[in-house]
Structure formats: C-alpha cells, structure tokens
C-alpha cells in the first residue's frame, strides 16, 4: 500500500499569513493526488484535484503543486474560514490512502 | 444536483454486524462508483472500499476479510456491511461519489460491549 506522510500535523498561523502543507508518498503517484478540507462539523470538501487543479468555487488563494512523491498545498493569505483540517489523498493505486491530516489553527 | 446521505444504526454491539446505507440522487450508480470512508473519533480519514459503476468492488486490504459493499440500483442505494465489529470500529461512516466531488454528511456508529 502507498503511505502518505503529511506534515505538519498541526500548523498554528495568523490571518493573512501564507502557509504550506506537505504530503509525501512512499512511491511515485504520478500527480494522482487530491486535497480536502474538513470543517469541525465533519463536512468534507475537495479543494484541489490532480495535484494542482482548483475545484470550481474554491478561492484562488488555494494552490497545489508537486510531482513524483512530493506534493504540497499552499494558502496564500489565510482567512478565518480556512482554519480547519486538511487531508491529501492518493488515487494512483488501490487501496486509496489518505494522509494523516493537518490541523490549521489560529495562532 | 448530487446528494448523498448515509443511514446507520447508531449503536451496535461488539461481535455483531454493521449495516449502513448510502442513498444517492443526481447521478446513476451504473455510471459512477461510490466510496466508503470512515473516521474514528479524533482520527483521520480511512478509505474502506468502492463499488464501481459496473458493480465490481475494491477494498482496503486491512478490512477486506470483514467488509462487503453492494448496491440496489433501482433504489439508488449502496450498502456497507462489516462483520465482527470491535470497539475500534466506532467512527463516522461517509459515502462519497467516485471522484470524491460529493460526500454525504456521515453517520456516527458506536460499537459497544
């Protein structure tokens, strides 16, 4: 199974700050990676698919990049609604696997 | 407009079998697959399995021996069945459309002795 190592597990940040979350795969996943946001009520929303394609309706302050085994999600200028959990998901190979999550919290 | 909703028993006894239903609207189960994902309290997301549009399935290897996913296309419903439950199967169970564009709100299942 492909393991995804997501870091950091917790990310304290301030409004307006730029942040980056990393997701490293145990083998190449050929850009088959999505990013999800989960709010405290459990609602899950896809932000980015295929490494860097922004989901319709998602603010442009979100961006994704990477290749091979290393991927990242960046938020250019944090707004209050961005404080949530974030997960990466690889779909290159079954079984699908999620990263362990990053809690983006207010500093 | 795609909608998905999970319905579960709420509370299940250990060693018993869990049955959760995902009812979908806005797309055909013969055209798109449906995933099951779960999240234990305070933990991350765990992919459980998928039933594809052609009815075939893929499962998480760690759960494969206990897990079955089936469907009733006439009712637009997908079923998760998992046996030999233990307390660490306590989780919110989600269904999601094949491309993870759409998720249900999840249903909490508590496994208790």
pLDDT for position B101: 87
Contacts for B62 with CB less than 8 Å, ≥ 6 apart = none
Pairs across A and B, CB distance < 8 A: 44
Where residue A42 falls (left for φ over 0; alpha for ψ -120 to 50; beta otherwise) is left
Tokens for B16, please give them.
């018993």
Q: What token pair was written down for A98?
A: 């999620």
A77 CB-near residues (< 8 Å, 6+ apart) = A16, A17, A18, A61
Q: Could you report the per-residue pLDDT of B39-49, keeping only the tens digit for each?
A: 999 999 999 99
Tens digit of pLDDT at every position of chain B (113 positions): 999 999 999 999 999 999 999 999 999 999 999 999 999 999 999 999 999 999 999 999 999 999 999 999 999 999 999 999 999 999 999 999 999 889 999 999 999 98
B100·A36 Cβ contact <8 A: yes
Q: What is the mean pLDDT of chain A?
A: 96
Min Cα separation A106/chain B (Å):
19
Instruction: Kindly report, residue by residue over A46-87, the tens digit of the pLDDT.
Output: 999 999 999 999 999 999 999 999 999 999 999 999 999 999
Cα(first)–Cα(last) distance of chain B, in Å? 40
Please list the helix, strand and coil fractions of chain B in percent, rounded to the nearest 5, in that order. 5, 50, 45
């Amino acid at each position: 199974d492909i393991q995804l190592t997501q870091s950091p597990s917790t990310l304290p940040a301030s409004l307006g700050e730029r942040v980056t979350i990393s997701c490293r795969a145990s083998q190449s996943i050929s850009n088959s990676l999505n990013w999800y946001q989960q709010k405290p009520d459990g609602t899950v929303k896809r932000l980015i698919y295929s490494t860097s394609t922004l989901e319709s309706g998602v603010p442009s302050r979100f961006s994704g990049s990477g290749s091979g085994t290393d991927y990242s999600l960046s938020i250019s200028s944090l707004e209050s609604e961005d404080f949530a959990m974030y997960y990466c998901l690889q779909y290159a190979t079954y079984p699908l696997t999620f990263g362990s999550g990053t809690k983006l919290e207010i500093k | 407009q795609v909608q998905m909703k999970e319905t579960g028993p709420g509370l299940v006894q250990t060693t018993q079998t869990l049955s959760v239903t995902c009812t979908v609207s806005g797309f055909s189960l013969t055209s798109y697959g449906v995933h099951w994902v779960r999240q234990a309290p305070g933990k991350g997301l765990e992919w459980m399995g998928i039933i594809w549009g052609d009815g075939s399935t893929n499962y998480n290897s760690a759960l494969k021996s206990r897990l079955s996913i089936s469907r009733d296309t006439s009712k637009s419903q997908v079923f998760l069945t998992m046996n030999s439950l233990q307390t660490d199967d306590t989780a919110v169970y989600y269904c999601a459309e094949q491309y993870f564009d759409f998720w249900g709100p999840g249903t909490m299942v508590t496994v208790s002795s």
